[in-house]
């Protein structure tokens, strides 16, 4: 038993999870994937919005079919509770008093939990040493604190749109809700740091993560630079100040086995003069060209890019990558998702995994964000349906019988999506 | 080194961490330091390669100093040490004996080649957390691949889905792969440190840039298996059923981004009709009833109506400033926000109200440098900037004395260019 315990990172840790969409669920997922008991509170009337977004099982929409939300909610139990009903809020308070979660997490705008009297100040009266994690777009206080939005908007506000795309065109933005994926690892670390402090001092605390502020830490040198001399970082395609060639070049089209796409690209980044000479030799470039230094190459870029493309477009990206890497030249396939499903490195790491969803069967999951040698995380359970664990949770924690649970279901206090 | 603040117990106060990592991986140790850990940044006697990374600002002598270094190395003490010398390794092992974690981003097997790899270190200090940040992981067919931000990003799938449809894929114009790996390493290292304290066992933490980038792809990865398709890049547009809906709009002084949800479209039309005349027909569209599914007719009634609304919005926003547009978005709760430049960010009243900017005196620049504030607010153990990024070997004497070296020994190491 002792052996077993020390191999589970968050053995015995209890987490009550009111979060939805991106940042919150991914943050609590780290805890769930490493052994914590995470109970997610969700309703059918207002489910996690990502349940309504693709990709879906067999491409068919449905509340139990989305892998967008699935990927962020592995290994969690689900209590289907409609918090708009006062009786539900009493039930959750009873559950909190009885179960005594170590961590409570929520990702609404600041007014929501307060309106339900489930905010930190209210919960602290029930659980003085709780770690209460709050995250929203703009932070718990300040003139814009109740501004709600998605990570696409926080990504734009934090500066990532302006610096992604081509200088002669408007911003394209990185794909998706970028800030939603920068914040969770740091949020996770802050919760564990707070637990560590509580282990030693017996005191809980409130964590306030503004997703807007967090995202800016991934751009901070340039924000500091503006403070120094007013210069503004602009989008520059794939250019790099310190390297050339540095770009993405077209390769020979080829059909993938999983999808119909055919376009194929290689990323090449020449970091040193030695790499440039090796590269120039492979491409059979003239002596005048291979003798050029970084500055000369940069001013001759159109011609050199043309020569590179003429060379790369003769073969598929995988062969070019393998050839260049065998000469220690930094290069890599510009992988589509179907390429990543066939990536031998990810295969070696056992990255992608399949978990069986109770209703719709096997679903494809992204693997863990990191590997711990002695306390490895493990994906064991697919995303639960809304209310899938109602009976188990209420029996276990509040000693309710089947008929009591059924009554709450009939009254609309409890909900389930099946 | 004198700290600028009085002693304070951050959440990670008990831990000492040796940081040998470079570049964006430095954000890991920076965050540990912000939470109170004693982080010792080890760099070669000639200086870390991260000091050569831009952007730069001029110091008091007029020579450029790296703001990249300054951003991700504050709250670290700095020592210099040549790990490729025997004397240097002996000092390093003494440091490891008294530390809780080491962070490194060398090529896999590099420390093994110096006889100070994981097995050696964990043998000496069984409670040590050894965090490695590498492009593709420590083993496997790509473990030996050489990489840069562009390569790790490309292999992690981000450029393929970013950029304009008619041009090559693009990366984000500020390197992200090392930073996202560094932030994953931070979370994992904190967790492993706590476990080590509770159970007296250390371990290896393996973070790969490729996997860290993949965790920024939102919903893309399952598409091939569930829909039989790949997500492709669509630039300033997002697929909305049969049509490409704009999510980036030009405005008078830049760009704004919008989620084209019915509530936001209605709110915008209400604003527009306060100021200019909008065709009555457009105002009467029943947006809640629009059916825009992948198999809907791209020239059908709903798609045509959507495009007419979008055009009205596009033309109106083109004459308004970011500031004006965001003001309206805040007031009417619209999913519409500015594509800020770093200049706009600096003017945000929200950041001002949350005291996000911290002016810290930096000895290397001989002046105050404005730093970004804490990553998050923690009520009991607030994150702080205790001191700015270190100079090369700035804390040698203090740290080496701590592990029992005499002044004479320190001088000898200096003369031999070990430190």
pLDDT in tens, A142-172: 999 999 999 999 999 999 999 999 999 999 9
Position B7 scores a pLDDT of 45
Position B5 scores a pLDDT of 44
Query: CA torsion angle for B123, B129, B102, B375 (degrees, to 10)?
Result: -170
Residues 6+ apart with CB under 8 A from B8: B36, B384, B386
pLDDT digits (tens, 9 = 90+) for A346-364: 999 999 999 999 999 999 9
**If pLDDT is split at 50, 70 and 90, which confidence band does B293 have?**
confident
How does DSSP classify residue B159?
G
pLDDT digits (tens, 9 = 90+) for B45-75: 999 999 999 999 999 899 999 999 999 999 9
**Considering only CA atoms, which of B238, B242, B271, B277 is closest in space to residue B257?**
B238
Same domain, B81 and B192: yes
> Domain count of chain B?
2
Across chain B, mean pLDDT equals 95
Closest-CA residue of chain B to A54:
B219
Position A16 scores a pLDDT of 98
Structural domain includes residue B231: no
Residue that finishes a domain, picked among B340, B364, B398? B340
- Please name the member of A56, A203, A271 whose beta carbon is closest to the beta carbon of B148: A271
A213, B351: Cβ pair inside 8 Å? yes
Match 């992604």 to its residue by tokens: A164
Same domain, B153 and B290: no
Same domain, B289 and B271: yes
Position A5 scores a pLDDT of 73
A161, B225: Cβ pair inside 8 Å? no
Position B9 scores a pLDDT of 80
Residue A134 near residue A209 (C-beta atoms within 8 A): yes
* Cα–Cα distance for residue pair A220/B31, rounded to 1 Å: 13
Show the domain range for B328.
236-340
Q: Per this entry, what is the length of chain B?
A: 419
Sign of CA dihedral A239, A242, A244, A250: negative
CATH node for A2-218+347-410: 3.40.50.10540
Give the rounded percent of residues in chain A with a pLDDT score beyond 70. Answer: 99
Closest-CA residue of chain A to B189:
A189
pLDDT digits (tens, 9 = 90+) for B165-217: 999 999 999 999 999 999 999 999 999 999 999 999 999 999 999 999 999 99
Same domain, B326 and B396: no
The mean pLDDT value for B274-298 works out to 92
Which residue of B103, B168, B212 to mutate against A (max A Cβ within 10 Å)? Answer: B168
- Please name the member of B146, B186, B206 whose beta carbon is closest to the beta carbon of A328: B146
Position B295 scores a pLDDT of 86
Give the rounded percent of residues in chain A with a pLDDT score beyond 90. Answer: 98
**Considering only CA atoms, which of B140, B147, B155 is closest in space to residue B210?**
B155
Position B241 scores a pLDDT of 85
Closest-CA residue of chain A to B12:
A193
Structural domain includes residue B6: no
Which residue of A15, A70, A161, A243 to mutate against B (max B Cβ within 10 Å)? Answer: A161
Residue B4 has pLDDT above 60, yes or no: no
Fold of A246-342: formyl-coa transferase, domain 3 (3.30.1540)
Same domain, B284 and B382: no
Across chain A, mean pLDDT equals 96
Residue A411 has pLDDT above 90, yes or no: yes
pTM: 0.97
Residues 6+ apart with CB under 8 A from A249: A265, A266, A268, A305, A308, A309, A312, A313, B168
CA distance B249 to chain A (A): 9
**Considering only CA atoms, which of A120, A98, A102 is closest in space to residue A191?**
A102
**Considering only CA atoms, which of A137, A95, A91 is closest in space to residue A112?**
A137
**Considering only CA atoms, which of A139, A145, A120, A60 is closest in space to residue B376?**
A139
How does DSSP classify residue A164?
B
The mean pLDDT value for A262-277 works out to 98
- Residues of chain B with Cβ-Cβ distance to A204 below 8 Å are 380
**Considering only CA atoms, which of A214, A205, A177 is closest in space to residue B354?**
A214
Same domain, B24 and B168: yes
pLDDT digits (tens, 9 = 90+) for B124-151: 999 999 999 999 999 999 999 999 999 9
A270: tokens are 């020449």
* Cα–Cα distance for residue pair A173/A165, rounded to 1 Å: 7
Which residue of B15, B26, B33, B146 to mutate against A (max A Cβ within 10 Å)? Answer: B146
CA distance A112 to chain B (A): 15
CA atoms in the 13 A half-sphere facing the CB of A356: 1
In DSSP notation, A218-280 reads TSHHHHHHHHHH-------TT-BTTBSSEEEEE------SSSS----EEEEE--SHHHHHHHH
B228, A143: Cβ pair inside 8 Å? no
CA distance B346 to chain A (A): 8
Position A6 scores a pLDDT of 84
Residue B190 near residue A192 (C-beta atoms within 8 A): yes
pLDDT digits (tens, 9 = 90+) for B146-155: 999 999 999 9
The three-state secondary structure class of B67 is helix
The mean pLDDT value for B373-388 works out to 95
Which residue of B56, B173, B389 to mutate against A (max A Cβ within 10 Å)? Answer: B173
Closest-CA residue of chain A to B142:
A345
Same domain, B245 and B321: yes
Interface size A-B, in CB pairs within 8 Å, comes to: 511
- Residues of chain B with Cβ-Cβ distance to A218 below 8 Å are 27, 174, 176, 179-180, 183
CATH number, domain containing residue B326? 3.30.1540
A392: tokens are 């188990």
Structural domain includes residue B226: no
Backbone dihedral region for residue A239 (phi beyond 0: left; psi -120 to 50: alpha; all else: beta): beta
CA atoms in the 13 A half-sphere facing the CB of A327: 20
**Considering only CA atoms, which of B28, B32, B59, B325 is closest in space to residue B185?**
B28
């Amino acid at each position: 038993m002792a052996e077993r315990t020390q191999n589970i990172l968050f053995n015995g840790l209890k987490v009550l999870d009111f979060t939805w969409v991106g940042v919150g669920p991914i943050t609590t997922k780290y805890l769930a994937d490493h052994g914590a008991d995470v109970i997610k509170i969700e309703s059918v009337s207002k489910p996690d919005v990502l349940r309504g977004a693709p990709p879906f099982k067999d491409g068919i929409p449905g509340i139990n079919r989305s892998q967008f939300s699935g990927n962020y909610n592995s290994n969690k139990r689900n209590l289907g509770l409609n918090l708009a009903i006062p009786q539900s809020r009493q039930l959750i308070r009873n559950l909190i008093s009885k179960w005594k979660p170590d961590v409570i997490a929520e990702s609404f705008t600041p007014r929501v939990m307060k309106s339900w009297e489930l905010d930190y100040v209210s919960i602290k009266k029930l659980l003085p040493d709780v770690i209460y994690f709050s995250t929203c777009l703009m932070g718990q206080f300040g003139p814009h604190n109740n501004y709600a939005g998605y990570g696409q908007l926080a990504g734009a506000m934090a500066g990532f749109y302006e610096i992604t795309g081509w200088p002669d065109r408007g911003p394209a933005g990185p794909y998706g809700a970028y800030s939603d994926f920068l914040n969770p690892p740091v949020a996770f670390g802050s919760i564990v740091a707070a637990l560590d402090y509580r282990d030693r001092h017996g005191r809980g605390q409130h964590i306030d993560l503004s997703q807007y502020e967090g995202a800016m830490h991934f751009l901070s040198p340039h924000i500091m630079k503006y403070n120094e001399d007013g210069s503004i970082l602009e989008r520059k395609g794939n250019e790099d100040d310190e390297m050339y060639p540095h770009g993405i070049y077209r390769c020979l089209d080829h059909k993938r086995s999983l999808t119909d796409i055919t376009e194929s690209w290689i990323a090449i980044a020449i970091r040193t003069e030695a790499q440039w000479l090796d590269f120039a030799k492979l491409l059979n470039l003239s002596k005048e060209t291979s003798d050029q230094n970084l500055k000369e190459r940069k001013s001759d870029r159109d011609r050199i890019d043309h020569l590179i493309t003429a060379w790369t477009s003769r073969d598929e990206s995988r062969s070019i990558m393998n050839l260049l890497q065998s000469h220690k030249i930094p290069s890599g396939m510009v992988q589509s998702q179907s390429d990543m499903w066939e990536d031998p490195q990810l295969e070696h790491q056992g990255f992608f995994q399949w978990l069986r969803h109770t209703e719709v069967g096997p679903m494809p999951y992204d693997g863990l964000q990191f590997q711990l040698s002695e306390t490895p995380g493990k994906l064991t359970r697919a995303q639960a349906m809304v209310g899938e664990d109602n009976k188990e949770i209420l029996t276990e924690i509040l000693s309710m019988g089947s008929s009591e649970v059924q009554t709450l279901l009939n009254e609309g206090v409890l909900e389930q999506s099946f | 080194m004198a700290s600028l603040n009085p002693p304070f117990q951050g959440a990670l106060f008990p831990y000492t961490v040796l940081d040998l990592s470079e570049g964006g991986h430095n954000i890991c140790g920076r965050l540990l330091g912000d939470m109170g850990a004693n982080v010792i940044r080890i760099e070669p006697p000639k200086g870390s390669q991260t000091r050569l990374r831009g952007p730069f600002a001029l110091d008091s002598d007029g020579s450029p100093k790296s703001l990249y270094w300054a951003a991700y190395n504050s709250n670290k003490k700095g020592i210099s040490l040549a790990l490729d010398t025997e004397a240097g390794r002996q000092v390093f092992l003494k440091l490891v004996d008294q530390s809780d974690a080491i962070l490194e981003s060398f090529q896999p097997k590099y420390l093994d080649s110096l006889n100070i790899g994981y097995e050696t270190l964990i043998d000496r200090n069984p409670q040590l957390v050894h965090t490695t940040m590498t492009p593709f992981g420590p083993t496997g067919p790509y473990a030996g691949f050489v990489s840069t931000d562009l390569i790790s990003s490309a292999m992690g799938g981000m450029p393929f889905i970013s950029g304009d449809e008619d041009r090559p894929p693009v990366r984000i114009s500020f390197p992200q792969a090392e930073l996202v790996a560094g932030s994953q390493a931070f979370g994992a290292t904190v967790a492993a440190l706590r476990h080590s304290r509770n159970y007296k066992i250390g371990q290896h933490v393996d973070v790969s840039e490729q996997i860290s980038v993949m965790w920024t792809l939102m919903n893309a990865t399952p598409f091939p298996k569930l829909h039989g398709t790949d997500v492709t890049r669509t630039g300033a547009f997002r697929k909305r059923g049969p049509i490409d809906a704009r999510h980036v709009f030009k405005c008078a002084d830049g760009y704004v981004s919008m989620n084209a949800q019915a509530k936001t479209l209605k709110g915008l039309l209400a604003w527009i009709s306060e100021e200019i005349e909008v065709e009555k027909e457009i105002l009467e569209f029943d947006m809640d009833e629009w059916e825009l599914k992948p198999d809907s007719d791209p020239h059908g009634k709903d798609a045509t109506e959507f495009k007419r609304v979008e055009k009205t919005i596009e033309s109106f926003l083109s004459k308004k400033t970011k500031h004006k547009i965001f003001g309206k978005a805040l007031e009417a709760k619209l999913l519409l926000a500015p594509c800020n430049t770093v200049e706009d960010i600096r003017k945000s009243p929200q950041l001002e109200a949350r005291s996000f900017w911290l002016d810290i005196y930096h000895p290397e620049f001989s002046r105050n440098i404005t730093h970004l504030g804490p990553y998050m607010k923690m009520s009991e153990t607030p994150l702080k900037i205790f001191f700015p990024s270190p100079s090369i070997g700035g804390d040698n004497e203090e740290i080496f004395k701590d592990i029992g070296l005499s002044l004479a020994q320190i001088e000898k190491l200096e003369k031999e260019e070990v430190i």
